[in-house]
Structure 1
Amino acid sequence: MSALGVVGGVLQPLLVAAGAPLLVGVMRQVRARLEGRAGPGVGQPWRDLRKLLRKEAITPRGTSEVFRLAPLVLVATTLVVAVVVPFVTTDSALDPVADLFAVVALLALGTVAVALAGLDTGTAFGGMGASREMTIIALVEPTLLVAIFALSVRVGSTNLASIVASTLHDPARVISPVSLLAAVALIVVIVAETGRLPVDNPATHLELTMVHEAMVLEYAGPDLALVELASAMRLTVFLGLLANLFLPWGIATTATALAVLGGVLAFALKVTLLGAVLAVGEVFLAKLRLFRVPELLAGSFLLALLAVAASFFLA
């Protein structure tokens, strides 16, 4: 474990946890401006979390420890990913855990925990949301694995820090067919995994459109605050992955204060820009019918497979 890895392991989870609600606020503000509204302000998500934390925790009758622990599991897995993935520094605090398969498994564990919590309530909404979420994750996780694996072929390692460092040393790879195909596949994965349009609409509670919201309807108070914070953190983590796997410039390669500060600013700027672009796209997109979502995800998986094939033939 290097000094650079330790610095990144300390700064990255703090940056993700503190900045994730602000990212959501920026995205909401961008959408509001484009729709001709004033918007609640960038800091509104933090105010909402503070209000929820002050409320009483309410647990539905008949639920088990699965329901109570799911928010903690969701937050914990996301924080571990924020610690190990190279967002601010090229070195990882826990290099063995920064492996592609370990990171995807941690992200999937959080999703499964929330789905089980939705089933644990015994409500129609919770079961419906969990069923839809499992349908989506069954297509999303293989695509995520294959898309990043395409980048790892030319590096010879599935370690995310190695992939980022390799792209940093050879910038021409960014415009290669492998990177372009993998980037498009990963963008679709991010949209689906984080419940954004056109796969899901996080701003509605309509029965016919709910996926993520249906699973967390029974949460209230501090538990709901944890779920909302974890959802914002997962969005930040996925956008950070997209930014640093394909555009790693600005990431700190040494443990000097100036380099680390530059890494923090670069990460914040890239994630904010990607979030703003995603919010702009949502304004002009309509939600897909549920039965059309697998077609979109299957198309992204095909792009990821093409990226893997191209990585072998064009190596």
Structure 2
Amino acid sequence: MIDWLIALVQTLMFVALAPLLSGWIRRVKCHMQNRAAPPLRQPYRDLAKLLRKHTVLATNASWIFRSTPYIVFGATVLAAAIVPLVALNLPTAAVADVIVLVGFFALARFFTALAGMDIGTAFGGMGSSREMMIGALAEPVLLMTVFTLAMSASTTNLSEAVAYTLNSGLVLRPSFIFAALGLMMVAVAETGRVPVDNPSTHLELTMVHEAMILEYSGRHLALIEWAGQLKLMIYMVLIANIFFPWGIAIEPTVKTLTLGLAAIAGKLALLGMVLVTWETVMAKMRLFRVPQFLGFAFLLSLLGMLTRVILESGL
């Protein structure tokens, strides 16, 4: 029962702290660009304001449009439930497979694209087509990264893979370097960050994710925005705990859990600063250059797998 309670609390921490991570990224970005920074709790205020507002629906909206926010948020929460945040060897580790994680993300993307086309607006169809193109290019990169990790850890289970990296100690693995770079580029594309997309713009020529959710309002928009923040945190936790797992709790004691929470907080804060630096020095690229960006990410992941086969077979 204690292990199940820790797993539940870990999932709730994902849901509760995702807006805080988004607020931290916004604040650091404002400081780096010499602008007035909003408070860390600003994303919570925005979500609360949206939850209080009345939901407006188009007259031709079907059940797909109405149910998509709940499906997207539910699928993202389920994805967060199988990702180790502060502790390993929890009951959810039995289903904590990366293939399952990719399936949850694909389910959320599929319904979001359907909802974008359901109303019949030009913006929705445009955003859906762009989103599916990016998803079709990003998923192979993510799977190639997973297979590179699986060749070293002999498993696609997230908990076991993190435990393998943790038990291996400080070992320089070129394959992990290539895989980490590929995963970072996928995370940028999948979460709609610069240079692939810009979450703070509503310009027709640059919108991808925003174009699909323009017709949403009230609690529906709040759930979709919350799911987007949660997805960003999932990717950052994956990068932090798979390639830099030091500090994560192996035994469910108060001391190790506290250390694990402090470690992941520090790693997420550092990764947030890296993301802000990347977005500050990079410019938004044209849509037709996104395949080149993701193609380079696939090349990095493929190099990681080849490096594992050629150079690290004896490790």
Q: Alpha carbons of 1:246 and 1:225: their partners in 2 closer, same or farther (altered >3 Å)? A: same
- CA displacement 1:209-253 (0-9 Å, x = unmatched): 000000000000010010111100000001000100100011110
Aligned partner (choices 236, 241, 246) of residue 239 of structure 1: 236
Q: Are 2:64 and 1:37 aligned?
A: no
SS at match of 1:94: helix
Q: Are 2:246 and 1:220 aligned?
A: no
- CA displacement 1:111-168 (0-9 Å, x = unmatched): 1111111011210000000000000000111111110210111221111111100000
- Show the counterpart of 2:91: 93
1:239 aligned partner, one-letter code: M
- Show the counterpart of 1:160: 158
1:12 aligned partner, one-letter code: Q
> Partners in 2 of 1:73 and 1:208 — Cα distance?
28
Q: Are 2:58 and 1:60 aligned?
A: yes
- Show the counterpart of 2:75: 77
- Show the counterpart of 1:11: 9
> Partners in 1 of 2:63 and 2:154 — Cα distance?
42
Q: Are 2:307 and 1:303 aligned?
A: no
Q: Are 2:265 and 1:268 aligned?
A: yes
- Show the counterpart of 2:117: 119
- Show the counterpart of 2:133: 135
* 1:184-195 equivalences in 2 (<5 Å): 184-195=181-192
- State TM-score, norm by structure 1: 0.96
> Partners in 1 of 2:175 and 2:170 — Cα distance?
11
Instruction: State the shift of 1:268 in Å.
Output: 2.0
- Show the counterpart of 2:206: 209
> Partners in 2 of 1:108 and 1:262 — Cα distance?
33
- CA displacement 1:64-119 (0-9 Å, x = unmatched): 11111111111111111211111211124323421111111111111111111101
> Partners in 1 of 2:163 and 2:94 — Cα distance?
16
2:158 aligned partner, one-letter code: L
Contact 1:177–1:307 (CA<8 Å) still a contact in 2?
Answer: yes
- CA displacement 1:147-192 (0-9 Å, x = unmatched): 021011122111111110000001234x311100000000000000
Q: Structure 1: 5+ residue runs without aligned partners?
A: none
SS at match of 1:29: helix
Contact 1:177–1:310 (CA<8 Å) still a contact in 2?
Answer: yes
- Show the counterpart of 2:21: 23
- Show the counterpart of 1:285: 282
SS at match of 2:91: coil
- CA displacement 1:5-51 (0-9 Å, x = unmatched): x2442122211111111111111111111111112221111101111
SS at match of 2:135: helix
Instruction: State the shift of 1:3 in Å.
Output: 4.8
1:219 aligned partner, one-letter code: Y
> Partners in 2 of 1:25 and 1:158 — Cα distance?
32
Report the aligned-residue RMSD. 1.3
> Partners in 2 of 1:187 and 1:305 — Cα distance?
14
> Partners in 1 of 2:83 and 2:89 — Cα distance?
9
Q: Are 2:104 and 1:106 aligned?
A: yes
> Partners in 2 of 1:291 and 1:270 — Cα distance?
33
- Bigger drift between 208-217 and 254-263 goes to 254-263
> Partners in 2 of 1:143 and 1:213 — Cα distance?
23
Q: Are 2:170 and 1:183 aligned?
A: no
- State TM-score, norm by structure 2: 0.96
2:237 aligned partner, one-letter code: G
- Bigger drift between 304-313 and 175-184 goes to 304-313
